[in-house]
Amino acid sequence: MQNGRQAVPLEKSYLLLNHGPVTLVGSTHDGRSNVMAASWVMPLDFDPPKVVLVIDRNTLTRELIEASGEFSLSIPCREMAAQVLAAGSLSGRDGEKASRCGLEFFAASCVAAPLVGDCVAWLECRVIPCRDNQDRHDLFIAEVLAAQADPAVFSQGRWHFSDDCRRTLHYQAGGAFFVTGESFDASEQAPTGG
Amino acid sequence: MQNGRQAVPLEKSYLLLNHGPVTLVGSTHDGRSNVMAASWVMPLDFDPPKVVLVIDRNTLTRELIEASGEFSLSIPCREMAAQVLAAGSLSGRDGEKASRCGLEFFAASCVAAPLVGDCVAWLECRVIPCRDNQDRHDLFIAEVLAAQADPAVFSQGRWHFSDDCRRTLHYQAGGAFFVTGESFDASEQAPTGG
């Protein structure tokens, strides 16, 4: 919670997810809130911005999203990897999960689903209902209603990681992550094509 | 084409996409083949393995995938970034695109869509038709029929990048990429949660 937050224009919000980072999905309904880790999330459209997200039918998060029609995506960073792993391992059905994972919620601006503190970016999403996708594929399509980022790592539509602890994460398997690595501009490289 | 290729068991094929790398989408129909860059692709299911892919309705790739019901995903690496950018910028409607981008095709095993040489991994996919997703959202769901990877960078279900030139890519915008960074095991870190 000690880091900054700045609104990201909606038309630039896809840039928060474009590189494929791990997310934390926040949800709430009827007095119960939950957080889970999700890698299977990506942008779907620019304007209005939309995302797709896969949420297993056996999770508490699924139940809360189906009931509320809303969720949040918080993008965690390297210094939070152990907490992200816990959020991907523990079940919200076994009692309040965020604090057990060492994560702290704070209020979103447009949805009731909570955001996760200490992350580097946040998106607030409303489900566009599609029973067939949800029932057959565990796939949710949602519109992004609001987005924020820590201006120390994302501003003017660009990520700029200086502190390695604040780099975003990409999940592999079995507790292993990649850190988002070096940035480079390929348009400055001579094309080798003929 | 000088690098190795080894079959990846289908149940591990999601690991090729789990960290959110840039892909090259190969397609072919009626004597025309094409390649385009795509970041909006992710796993959807483990068994049978499925993927979701967003393909703009104005592209030649869209036309070829709709007509053939198939596509390939080749995962390029850092040394190919300029070619990937070209594949994301040029249009296949202006003439044969792969060679103009400096990319070379080779034959897939299960689909007619070609694979792209010098990449680090490949998936062969058959569309599971869903008109509503395709028409409303440009979203394609497909089953993965075969997968391969260069064993120098992916084997036993794990990525292991030693040569920085062979690391996978994550797209930002405006020609800028991230390289897939350092790998670490978060299960070895003490959780800070209570």
Phi, psi of A48 (to 5 degrees): -70, 150
**Span A111-138, mean pLDDT?**
97
Closest Cα of chain B to A109: distance in Å?
26
At A39 the pLDDT is 97
Which of B14, B35, B40 to substitute to test the interface with A, most A CBs within 10 Å? Answer: B40
Cβ <8 Å between B180 and A170: yes
Residue A85, in any domain of the structure:
yes
**Residue A148's CATH number:** 2.30.110.10
Rounded CA separation A143/A73 (Å): 12
**Span A7-22, mean pLDDT?**
98
Residue A189, in any domain of the structure:
no
Helix count and strand count (H, E) for chain A: 3, 14
Among candidates A39, A100, A167 on the partner chain, residue whose Cβ is nearest the Cβ of B18: A39
A1/A14: higher pLDDT: A14
- B84–A contact, CB cutoff 8 A: yes
Cβ <8 Å between B82 and A40: no
At A193 the pLDDT is 40
At A110 the pLDDT is 96
Q: Is the pLDDT of residue A191 over 90?
A: no
- A15–B contact, CB cutoff 8 A: yes
Rounded CA separation A113/B136 (Å): 27
Among candidates B82, B158, B167 on the partner chain, residue whose Cβ is nearest the Cβ of A186: B82
Neighbouring CB atoms inside 10 A of A163's CB total 11
Neighbouring CB atoms inside 10 A of A156's CB total 7
Closest Cα of chain B to A110: distance in Å?
24
What percent of chain A clears pLDDT 90, i.e. is strictly above it? Answer: 90
Please indicate, yes or no, whether the overall pTM of this predicted structure exceeds 0.80: yes
Residues 35-64 of B with CB under 8 A from A: 39-45, 50, 52, 54
Cβ <8 Å between A102 and B20: no
Residue A133, in any domain of the structure:
yes
Residue B13, in any domain of the structure:
yes
**Span A136-154, mean pLDDT?**
98
At B94 the pLDDT is 87
Residues with Cβ within 8 Å of A100's Cβ and at least 6 positions away in sequence, in order, are A86, A90, B193, B194
Residues with Cβ within 8 Å of B72's Cβ and at least 6 positions away in sequence, in order, are B25, B26, B27, B108, B111, B113, B114, B115, B116, B122, B123, B124, B125
Q: Scanning every residue of chain B, which has its alpha carbon at the shortest distance from the alpha carbon of A187?
A: B175
ipTM of predicted complex? 0.95
Q: Is the pLDDT of residue A194 over 80?
A: no
Rounded CA separation A63/A53 (Å): 14
Residue A190, in any domain of the structure:
no
Phi, psi of B137 (to 5 degrees): -120, 0
Q: Is the pLDDT of residue A192 over 70?
A: no
Residue A193, in any domain of the structure:
no
pLDDT by residue, tens only, chain B of 194 residues: 557 999 999 999 999 999 999 999 999 999 999 999 999 999 999 999 999 999 999 999 999 999 999 999 999 999 999 999 999 999 988 888 999 999 999 999 999 999 999 999 999 999 999 999 999 999 999 999 999 999 999 999 999 999 999 999 999 999 999 999 999 999 876 554 43
Cα-Cα-Cα-Cα dihedral sign, residues B15, B16, B21, B27:
negative
pLDDT digit string, tens, across residues B113-143: 999 999 999 999 999 999 999 999 999 999 9
Domain that holds residue B23: 6-178
Residue B187, in any domain of the structure:
no
Give the HSE-up count for residue B41: Cα atoms under 13 Å, Cβ half-sphere: 30
Residue B1, in any domain of the structure:
no
- Please state the domain count of chain B: 1
Among candidates B54, B181, B187 on the partner chain, residue whose Cβ is nearest the Cβ of A178: B181
Cβ <8 Å between A19 and B39: yes
What percent of chain A clears pLDDT 70, i.e. is strictly above it? Answer: 96
Place of tokens 């915008």: B173
pLDDT digit string, tens, across residues A47-89: 999 999 999 999 999 999 999 999 999 999 999 999 999 999 9
Cβ <8 Å between B15 and A183: no
At B193 the pLDDT is 40
Cβ <8 Å between B42 and A43: no
DSSP state, residue B62: H
Q: Scanning every residue of chain A, which has its alpha carbon at the shortest distance from the alpha carbon of B156?
A: A173
Closest Cα of chain A to B151: distance in Å?
17
